[in-house]
Amino acid sequence: MASSSSSATEPSSDISLPESGAAEKPQVKPLRLPTAEEIRGQDIWNNCAVRSVVSGVMGGGLGLAMGLLLGALDNPVMQDEMTGKQQFIYAAKQMGRKSWSSAKAFAVMGFVFSAAECVVEKARAKHDTTNTVIAGCVTGGAISAKGGPKAACAGCAGFAAFSVVIEKFLDSHS
């Protein structure tokens, strides 16, 4: 009688449960095709000019924020001889100068790196670390070219190595 009461409470099913040692099959999700808007958005983003300009603007925004932060930390040399108002004006001017300078530098870096990476990626028809190395080298060399050939080579190597480190770090977190 105990067996009839337990079978009444348990639902009957034709599916057999896997044994404890057997591995379960992963669920397969159905394939979803992109919508027309998603395809258009991808086409726009795959344009190197659009990608470069957006990266330049975002780099400029980051540089602006960095400049504000670093400019606020800059103490005046003659702090003891300045009134509170003079210190505030000095700090505001320093923040403005550093913000503008950093915004320009980060905008150029973002623009050049993104343009170089996009062009190399389209030419090679691959998305891999080699594109990052080449784009980093082009960016570092272009930024430090004013210092001469040695500086350009050092900038190329340094920025390429930095780009690879960032790429590997971001890939490990995605």
pLDDT of residue 26: 81
Instruction: Tell me whether residue 133 is in a domain.
Output: yes
Residue that is last in its domain, among 126, 145, 162: 126
Share of the chain above pLDDT 70, in %: 84
Clarify whether residues 142 and 110 are in a common domain: no
Instruction: Tell me whether residue 87 is in a domain.
Output: yes
Indicate if the alpha-carbon torsion angle 118, 121, 125, 129 is positive or negative: negative
pLDDT of residue 15: 54
Residue that is last in its domain, among 126, 149, 165: 126
Clarify whether residues 149 and 106 are in a common domain: no
43 near 113, Cβ under 8 Å?
no
Clarify whether residues 171 and 122 are in a common domain: no
Instruction: Tell me whether residue 2 is in a domain.
Output: no
119 near 55, Cβ under 8 Å?
no
Instruction: Tell me whether residue 165 is in a domain.
Output: yes
Clarify whether residues 169 and 134 are in a common domain: yes
pTM: 0.73
Clarify whether residues 139 and 100 are in a common domain: no
3-state helix, strand, coil in the chain (%, to 5): 75, 0, 25
Work out how many domains the chain is built from and give that number: 2
Instruction: Tell me whether residue 25 is in a domain.
Output: no
Vertex 125, ends 58 and 48: CA angle to 5°? 30
Asked whether the predicted pLDDT for residue 117 surpasses 80, the reply is yes
Domain hosting 110: range is 46-126
Alpha carbon separation from 63 to 95, 136, 153 (Å, rounded)? 12, 18, 24
Residue that is last in its domain, among 126, 141, 162: 126
**SS3 annotation, 144-155:** CHHHCHHHHHHH
Clarify whether residues 70 and 84 are in a common domain: yes
Clarify whether residues 64 and 115 are in a common domain: yes
Clarify whether residues 97 and 144 are in a common domain: no
Clarify whether residues 58 and 121 are in a common domain: yes
Clarify whether residues 165 and 138 are in a common domain: yes
Tens-place pLDDT, residues 13-51: 555 555 555 567 788 888 889 999 999 999 999 899 999
Clarify whether residues 76 and 139 are in a common domain: no
Clarify whether residues 53 and 106 are in a common domain: yes
Tens-place pLDDT, residues 139-170: 999 999 999 999 999 999 999 999 999 999 98
